[in-house]
Structure 1
Amino acid sequence: MQAQVRQWFERRTSGLADWSPAQVLAAKNAADVTISVVLPALNEEATVGAIVDAIRRELVERTPLVDELLVIDSGSTDRTAERAFAAGARVVPRDDVLPRIPAVPGKGEVLWRSLLVSTGDLVVFVDADLERFRPEIVVGLIGPLLADPEVALVKGLYDRPLTNGGSVLPAGGGRVTELVARPLLNLHWPELAGVVQPLAGEYAARRELLEQLPFPCGYGVEIALLVDTLALRGLDAIAQVDLGSRHHRHQDDAALGRMAAQIWQAAHARLGRDVPGRAHPAPPATLTQFTRIDGAIEVATHDVTGRERPPVITLPEYRAHRAVLDARTRTA
């Protein structure tokens, strides 16, 4: 590991044991900030209720650390919204946010829109498909933001067990990370080589950072926010926390291929800006994949267009939202 990355890794990596709820609550009160937890959700009825319930019980009622618990429902056709609401979350349909701009499918789209309806100075994103969820994950992600004002983005790191038949690979679940994201970062943004889980869906950031960043609409959002934070604030604005193991359902290889294509799109859009001489014509917006069905090869072409949303601070609706939040702060 290069010296700069090693120094960053040692200085900016911590573990859950370093951040107790009482310690983080005291730091929150001293900083006089508010915290939102946002769960983007699409057909997650099996897991979203337990996650919301754990956060509400432990971090809203028992330890008043979280001020807002928000689920953005991305068009679920199951009971995701019902179960999230019953467990104690405020549930907002994605399409009800900024209706003048029609929504497109994708995780990044939901995260981007969440900034227009959430209120916290610090925003924690948690995937809604987590199994065996522990609320201390939220505590750990908030800790570095409160401990050091220079830190603006905190990524979770973890092992991702992969179940394969009757066997379990303790860290076999991060296939897109190892095959796509990590090689991209080491090649083009080597300062980020020490980020263990660049595609982690569990991370926290300051609102004033997130509102300045563009958001890819799809699965490219995590690598884009990481690279853009580096460009805007520098490496020392990024930290990571070891969350242990992350358990969730796994997608098949074809779905991971489409995810990888979107990550490539997001990275490509940043190469001309950050890496001199690396700009190239935009990559194709489609991905062709093949499946054998009853002995015949079936062809499917998927749209992997690298759509991006502009920084929300450029939107008049968001500036009005931010003005309301600032007014509340002044009168508090």
Structure 2
Amino acid sequence: MRPDVRDWLHQRTFSADSWYASELLAAKAERNATVSVVLPALDEERTVGTIVSTIRERLVERCPLVDELVVIDSGSVDRTAEVATAAGARVVHVDTVLPGHGCRPGKGEALWKSLHVTTGELVVFLDSDLIRFDHRFVIGLLGPLLTDSTIGYVKALYDRPLSTTEGIVPSGGGRVTELVARPLLNAFWPQLAGFVQPLSGEYAGRRTLLEEVPFVSGYGVEFGLLVDLLRRAGLNALAQVDLGVRRHSHQNDAALGRMAGQILQTALARRPGAGRPEGELLQFLRTGDGLEAVSWDVTVVERPPMRTLRDAEARAWRQA
């Protein structure tokens, strides 16, 4: 193991059990900080309500650690928006944010636009398909940011039980991580090899830092943020927190292949001297007539750092 990775693992890996909400509330008040929690959502009516109501009850009403709770709806056709609103979140449809810049499909677009409609100094991102959500996820992600000013970005690590036809496998579930993301990081950005779950959908950061980097529109957003934040802030500004166990729905292999394609696109675009790679992924289905080739566009689009957008809007306003 590289010495810098060994040192980072020792100094920048924490446990969510290290903090209580009450002590973080005191640290938040001392620093005059504000916290926004963002859930990107697409057809998650089954789970989003429980997550929102748990955060509101435990971390807004009982202990006001969270100031702003926002669900960014990416065009759900089910009752995601209604359920989230009833549970106590402010729901924002992604198409209504920065309409002059258009709208791209994908999770990264929702996260990027959330920076424009939230105000918290600290921003916590949570996937909205979590099962048996624990409010300590939020506490754990905020802990390093509220107690160490040198840390700017925190990712979750956890065990991921994998549901199979034979029951629950205690570990696993991170197939794209192990087959694509981890080999890429170890080969090209070995400083980041210590991240246990580099693609985790639960992470938090300081707004000042998040607004300095681009957001990839699709599933490559987590990979892109890690690489770009390493370049922007250095390894010591990044940390990870053990949240225990994370349960969520799982996708089939074909969907994971498309996810892997977007992550590969994101990685290749960040290699020194790299051009934009081809964005087509060919997959195959067996039909009654034989094999059918299905082409998918896995091209990712990078949204610029939100800071540059705000600066451009300010200049336009001064010149008007």
CA RMSD of aligned residues (A): 1.4
Q: Which amino acid aligns with 2:299?
A: T
Distance 1:318 1:16, change over 3 A: farther
Contact kept, 8 Å, 1:161 with 1:170, in 2: the verdict is yes
CA distance in 1, matches of 2:230, 2:131: 31
Q: Which amino acid aligns with 2:52?
A: V
CA drift of 1:172 comes to 1.4
Question: What does residue 191 of structure 1 align with?
Answer: 191
2:290 is aligned with 1:296: yes
Give per-residue Cα distances to partners, 1:14-54, cap 9 Å, x unaligned.
Answer: 11110111111111111101000000000000000000000
Query: What does 1:218-237 align with in structure 2 at a 5 Å threshold?
Result: 218-237=218-237
2:289 is aligned with 1:282: no
Give per-residue Cα distances to partners, 1:77-114, cap 9 Å, x unaligned.
Answer: 00000000000000000000001111011000110000
CA drift of 1:318 comes to 8.2
Give per-residue Cα distances to partners, 1:157-179, cap 9 Å, x unaligned.
Answer: 01111111023222210000000
Contact kept, 8 Å, 2:121 with 2:206, in 1: the verdict is yes
Question: What does residue 139 of structure 2 align with?
Answer: 139
Tell me, what secondary structure is at the counterpart of 2:91?
strand
Query: What does 1:228-247 align with in structure 2 at a 5 Å threshold?
Result: 228-247=228-247
Contact kept, 8 Å, 1:14 with 1:242, in 2: the verdict is yes
Any unmatched runs of 5+ in structure 1? 273-278, 324-332
Give per-residue Cα distances to partners, 1:180-214, cap 9 Å, x unaligned.
Answer: 00000000011111011100100000000011100
Any unmatched runs of 5+ in structure 2? none
Contact kept, 8 Å, 1:13 with 1:242, in 2: the verdict is yes
Q: Which amino acid aligns with 2:25?
A: L
Provide TM-score, normalisation by structure 1: 0.93
CA distance in 2, matches of 1:33, 1:281: 40
CA distance in 2, matches of 1:61, 1:281: 50
Query: What does 1:101-180 align with in structure 2 at a 5 Å threshold?
Result: 101-180=101-180
CA drift of 1:280 comes to 3.9
CA distance in 1, matches of 2:287, 2:169: 29
Tell me, what secondary structure is at the counterpart of 1:271?
coil
Tell me, what secondary structure is at the counterpart of 2:99?
coil
Distance 1:243 1:122, change over 3 A: same
Contact kept, 8 Å, 1:70 with 1:91, in 2: the verdict is yes
Contact kept, 8 Å, 2:269 with 2:277, in 1: the verdict is no
Question: What does residue 32 of structure 1 align with?
Answer: 32
2:245 is aligned with 1:251: no
Tell me, what secondary structure is at the counterpart of 2:295?
strand
Tell me, what secondary structure is at the counterpart of 1:315?
helix
2:309 is aligned with 1:315: yes
Contact kept, 8 Å, 1:116 with 1:318, in 2: the verdict is no
Provide TM-score, normalisation by structure 2: 0.96
2:47 is aligned with 1:47: yes
Question: What does residue 306 of structure 1 align with?
Answer: 300
CA distance in 2, matches of 1:149, 1:184: 30
